[in-house]
Amino acid sequence: MGAMTLEELAARCNASVTLEINEHRTSYQSVDDYLTECQSRSDEGRLNIVEGAIHRMIETNTIVRLQFYPTTPVGFIEIWGATVDEVLAEAETCFK
């Protein structure tokens, strides 16, 4: 069985789900530069990137960011990866 679908994730959440793909390309940034910039703006000073995904993100010039609110409209989880499937698989682990 594969990762949950975007529709299944939305049904399990108590607020919004946002899927963003390749935002770095709109500002002509490399994957490295964009991730560094986002990390510097992060409250924790780091991004929740799927294990091993940075190499794949750079290799494919693809960044997928998933943000969802699993329990309340206040606290969200943000997951970064190279594919939609891998961020959804990681999101599914948040419900176990």
User: Model confidence over 75-96: pLDDT tens digits?
Assistant: 899 999 999 999 999 999 988 7
Rg (CA), the chain: 13
pLDDT digits (tens, 9 = 90+) for 15-58: 999 999 999 999 999 999 999 999 999 877 789 999 999 999 99
How many CA atoms within 13 Å lie on the side-chain side of 51? 2
- Give the containing element (helix H, strand E) for 65: strand 64-68
pTM for the complete prediction? 0.91
* pLDDT over 70 at 60, yes or no: yes
